[in-house]
Amino acid sequence: MLLKLMGAIMVVASCSGFGILMAFTYKREVRSLDALLRILEWMINDLRFKMTPLPELCRISAGFGDSTLRSFFLKMEREMNKHTSPDAASCASAALSSTVNISPELQEILKQLGCSLGQFDAEGQIQCLESVRLVTEDRKSVLCKNMSNRLRSYQTLGLCAGAALAILLV
Amino acid sequence: MNCAWQQYLALLPTWLREPVDKLGKEDLEEVRLRLGLPAELVLHTGAVRLKRKISKEDLSFSINVASSYSPWAATSLEKGYVTAKGGHRIGVCGTAVIKNGEMRGIRNISSLCIRVSRNFPGISQAAEQIQGSVLIIGSPGTGKTTLLRDLIMQQAIKFNGNISVVDEREEIFPKNGDFFCFPPAAGVDVLSGCTKISGITTLLRVMSPQMIAVDEITSPDDCDALLQAGWCGVKLLATAHAANRDELFTRPIYKPILETKLFDSLIIMHSDKTWHSERMNICY
């Protein structure tokens, strides 16, 4: 009986944990998008007034980001300093392939950011960054819509699924 | 001879680095990359063509590395060149992007000319006796900038005053990050990356120079800038494109600076990179 009880508790706990993890991942993506928006804003301002070269821009951007973005931008800077990739897009895709814990949507946005970098004129470069910023804002607004309800749903669903499984199995 | 050779090799596509290092370490002048054609190495002894043809990616690679993956930051692209770390200049050809009647950049790049920047300390020793403002003339690739750099160093030591340099193309005293590849002598102040007209005006106001040096006078604006600096107690050192005295005096663009006797001496570069000096006698 005790074993069954322990098993039931473990099933409920793991399912709830999964629900919480889903909610955490969701929140982390919103945080990453927030940080990315800050970075894009900063990049656009820098391009308007200072025109800092891209490797340095990536290094400074890493300081504004969460752990995922920090790792992405630092890897991109390293890739550029190696002088082996033909363009910024290749550097971004190499950095992306070695960055972990990144959602497919954020990955898509970063890929788009990589492709937009390396324009031949500052005006065009700013416009490209603006379009990436719009995409990021759209994605963020989709995620933020009913965010608290969604988070509660993930946690509740996890708990309920755990309870249902426990009832079925025990 | 000093040369930032590794930085030069880094500008080339990876497959091209080994043959260039092998063939041209000592006497390479430039590498020419033309889309769809074999790479051409221009050596002092002649040109060598490699077998492999240049792709679009190769051209994009060189431009991206030269501009630290930031072609938009290389404002000089509007004028058709990018100066890379080590002072190596890449000349760019392709389709010009025109906005409001002015060239704003280059797209569809079709060829690059990647010149090696070298420093030969002491080559201007024979020019020690030359007095007053000096104009160095020569055809492209005859070593005008190299001589100018050494002349600046020599004058700085001899002069014991302030020499200000407007290094528009960042070729006279190229930088590697914050540091100079060929460090200038004490007394030399370098203002890099700005046009001659605004650079000279700024330097006159803020650096109290006794001598101002500029590279490549190529436009009426450049001549105006020099005229502005003349006769206010500042000597001038400059370079210009002309193969000989006759060509110099024939080019209308140089008329204002020659008519006004802005320069006292002329140094004429020869194709074998030797030179001789003459007094500037104006016969207008």
- Name the one residue in this structure whose structure tokens are 């201007």: B124
Asked whether the beta carbons of residue A54 and residue B10 sit closer than 8 angstroms, the reply is no
Three-state SS annotation for chain A: CHHHHHHHHHHHHHHHHHHHHHHHHHHHHHHHHHHHHHHHHHHHHHHHHCCCCHHHHHHHHHHHCCHHHHHHHHHHHHHHHCCCCCCHHHHHHHHHHCCCCCCHHHHHHHHHHHHHCCCCCHHHHHHHHHHHHHHHHHHHHHHHCCHHHHHHHHHHHHHHHHHHHHHHHC
pLDDT digit string, tens, across residues A96-126: 988 887 888 888 999 999 988 888 778 888 9
- Domain span at residue A136 reads 2-169
Residues B64 and B129 grouped into a single domain = no
Complex-level ipTM: 0.71
Question: What is the per-residue pLDDT for B281?
Answer: 65
Asked whether the beta carbons of residue A84 and residue B14 sit closer than 8 angstroms, the reply is yes
- Flag whether pLDDT at A151 surpasses 80: no
Residue B36 forms part of a structural domain: yes
Give me the CATH number covering residue B89.
Answer: 3.30.450
Residue B284 forms part of a structural domain: no
The alpha-carbon gap from B18 to the nearest alpha carbon of chain A, in Å, equals: 14
Chosen domain end from B97, B115, B133: B115
pLDDT digit string, tens, across residues B217-237: 888 888 888 888 887 888 899
Residues B111 and B45 grouped into a single domain = yes
Per cent of chain B over pLDDT 90 is 25
Residues B107 and B188 grouped into a single domain = no
Instruction: Please give the single-letter amino acid code of residue B44.
Output: H
- Domain span at residue B82 reads 2-115
Rounded Cα distance, B17 and A50, in Å? 33
The alpha-carbon gap from A139 to the nearest alpha carbon of chain B, in Å, equals: 27
Residues B9 and B105 grouped into a single domain = yes
- Rounded mean pLDDT of B59-63? 91
In whole numbers, what is the pLDDT of chain A averaged over residues? 86
Residue B134 forms part of a structural domain: yes
Residues B268 and B240 sit within 8 Å (Cβ to Cβ): no
The alpha-carbon gap from B181 to the nearest alpha carbon of chain A, in Å, equals: 18
Higher pLDDT, B235 or B76: B235
Q: Which residues contact B20 (CB under 8 A, 6 or more apart)?
A: B9, B12, B28, B31, B41
- Flag whether pLDDT at B211 surpasses 50: yes
Residues B65 and B198 grouped into a single domain = no
Residues B40 and B155 grouped into a single domain = no
Residue B218 forms part of a structural domain: yes
Residues B184 and B74 grouped into a single domain = no
Range in A89-93, B69-73, B136-140, B151-155 the model is least confident about: B69-73
Using DSSP, state whether B266 is helix, strand or coil. strand
- Name the one residue in this structure whose structure tokens are 């897009």: A89
Chain B residues touching A56 at Cβ < 8 A: 68
Residue B78 forms part of a structural domain: yes
Give me the CATH number covering residue B212.
Answer: 3.40.50.300
Range in A89-98, A120-129, B59-68 the model is least confident about: A120-129
Q: How many domains are contained in chain A?
A: 1
Rounded Cα distance, A64 and A58, in Å? 10
pLDDT digit string, tens, across residues B87-112: 888 999 998 888 788 787 788 889 99
Chosen domain end from B84, B115, B146: B115
Residues B176 and B110 grouped into a single domain = no
- Rounded mean pLDDT of B166-189? 83
Q: Provide the 8-state DSSP code for B35.
A: B
Q: How many domains are contained in chain B?
A: 2
- Rounded mean pLDDT of B29-47? 91
Question: What is the per-residue pLDDT for B283?
Answer: 47
Question: What is the per-residue pLDDT for B190?
Answer: 92
Residues B131 and B176 grouped into a single domain = yes
Residues B139 and B245 grouped into a single domain = yes
pLDDT digit string, tens, across residues A22-67: 888 888 888 889 999 999 999 999 888 888 888 998 999 898 888 8
Residues B62 and B104 grouped into a single domain = yes
Residues B47 and B143 grouped into a single domain = no
Asked whether the beta carbons of residue A122 and residue B73 sit closer than 8 angstroms, the reply is yes
pLDDT band at residue B33 using 50, 70 and 90 as cut-offs: very high
Residue B246 forms part of a structural domain: yes
- Rounded mean pLDDT of B34-60? 91
In terms of CA atoms, which chain B residue is nearest residue A52? B73
